[in-house]
Amino acid sequence: MTNPLIVVRNVSKTFSAAAGPFTALDNVSLDIDKGEFVIVVGQSGSGKSTLLALLAGIDRPSQGEVHIGGTAVHSLSERDMSSWRGGAVGIVFQFFQLLPTLSAVENVMLPMDFTNSWPANKRRSRALALMERLGVADQADKLPSTLSGGQQQRIAVARALANEPAVLLADEPTGNLDSRTANAMLELMSSLVQDGQTIVMVTHERSARRFASRTVTLADGRIVANDDA
């Protein structure tokens, strides 16, 4: 039996707010194996995005541990966290978050540039290969503002995959897309999983369940359901 790729143990996250402390996650534990496509669902404020932020090393748990690929993410320094995040996880945001002054291919090259993970003269060809795989190679030299939402999100996925991360984390990647484009995005995610990619995706899309290998349901910061497909 192999060890899980992602191990979340007794994680709690409390935010301090003007109205008093607010617990977004309450003693959550979760294991995810390599190659799984896990979707996290729940109502607004249930703690979905907080869980994803802890997996991405964007935030730190108030209590508990997060291990990804053997790395104790919760204990990394800010500097080590940046380096680890660049290589180990790829993040896809709801609003794409492409840098507006860079062309599509430059956006995809950017993580390789920051982490120095590929030789400088190979980065463009790798970025183009990824964009080819995601069907947006013909948009390589366009600025994000000239692309449709679906195209921008595919480029965001290509950017997330640039450094061959162990895990792709997606925060409502279809939330800003029409239903047809959203469906295409989910098919794309599914195909990546078939190629061995591990994906954890926060979503409101009911249709996403049919692509996922597991659905984790959160309510009030707790896991209330953890169902295999």
Partner 1 sequence: MVASLRTTMRSPRWRKVVGDLWLHKARTSLVVSAICVGIVGAGSVLNAWSLLRRATHDEFDASNPASAVLRVDSVDEALLTKVRALPTIAAAQGRRSVLGSVLTSTGWKTAALTSMNDFAASAIGIIKPGQGAWPPSNAGIVIEHSSVDYATVSVGDSVTLRYGDRAGRAVPVRGVARDVGLAPGWMEHTVYMFATPAMLSSLGAPSTMNELQLLVRDRTLDRADVQVIARDVQKLVESEGHHVSEVSVPVPGRHIHAAQIESLLLTQGAFALLALLLSGVLVVNLISGMLTGQVREIGVMKAIGARAGQLVTMYLSLALMLGLIACAVSLPLAALLGRLYAEFTAGILNFDVSAFRIPWWAFVLQFAVGALLPVLAAAIPVARGCRISVSEALRDNGTAIRGESDGYLMNIRGVSRPVLLSLRNAFRRRERVVLTLATLSIGGAVYLGALNLRSAVIASVDLAFSSQQFDVVFRMTRAYPVDSMVAAAITTSGVSAAEAWTGAHAAISTPDGALNSRFAITAPPLNTAMLKLTIASGRALLASEENELVVNRRLLADEPRLAVGRRVTLLMDGRVATWHIVGTTDTGLQPAAYTSRETIEHLTGGVGATSLIVAVNATAPAAKLALVRQLRSDLVDKGFDVSSSQSMAEARSVLEDHLLMVAGFLGNMSLLMIVVGGLGLASTMSLAVLERTREIGVLRAIGAKHGAILAMIQTEGLVIAVLSWLLAIPLSLPMSIALGHAFGRVMMEVPVRLLPNGPGVVQWLGVVVAVSLLACTWPAQRATRITTAAALSCE
As measured in angstroms, the least distance from the Cβ of 114 to partner 1 is: 4
* 21 counts as binding partner 1 under rule CB under 8 A: no
As measured in angstroms, the least distance from the Cβ of 201 to partner 1 is: 16
Among positions 85, 126, 154, 214, the unique one binding partner 1 when judged by CB under 8 A: 85
Q: Compute φ and ψ for 19, nearest 5 degrees.
A: -85, 0
Among positions 111, 144, 173, 221, the unique one binding partner 1 when judged by CB under 8 A: 111
Buried b (16+ CB within 10 A) or exposed e, 174-205: bebbeeebbbbbbebbbebbeeebbbbbbbeb
* 95 counts as binding partner 1 under rule CB under 8 A: yes
* 99 counts as binding partner 1 under rule CB under 8 A: yes
Separation in Å, CA 95 to CA 156, 171, 172, 187, 223: 10, 9, 9, 19, 26
Binding range to partner 1, per CB under 8 A, among 18-26, 28-36, 66-74, 159-167: 159-167
* 141 counts as binding partner 1 under rule CB under 8 A: no
Report the candidate in 89, 92, 91 with the shortest Cα–Cα distance to residue 149: 92
Long-range contacts of 23-28 (CB under 8 A, 24+ apart): 23/221, 24/50, 24/221, 25/50, 25/51, 25/54, 25/61, 25/221, 25/222, 26/220, 26/221, 26/222, 27/63, 27/64, 27/222, 28/64, 28/218, 28/221, 28/222, 28/223
Mark 44-63 with x for binding to partner 1 (rule: CB under 8 A) and - for no binding. ---------x--xxxx----
* 109 counts as binding partner 1 under rule CB under 8 A: yes
* 164 counts as binding partner 1 under rule CB under 8 A: no
Residue 209 CB neighbours (<10 A) = 15
Mark 112-131 with x for binding to partner 1 (rule: CB under 8 A) and - for no binding. -xxx----xx----------
* 83 counts as binding partner 1 under rule CB under 8 A: yes
Binding range to partner 1, per CB under 8 A, among 4-12, 39-47, 76-84, 192-200: 76-84
User: How far is 77 from 193, CA to CA, in rounded Å?
Assistant: 30
Among positions 8, 25, 68, 91, the unique one binding partner 1 when judged by CB under 8 A: 91
Interface contacts to partner 1, rule CB under 8 A? 53, 56-59, 78-79, 82-83, 85-87, 90-91, 93, 95, 97, 99-102, 106-107, 109-111, 113-115, 120-121, 159-160, 162-163
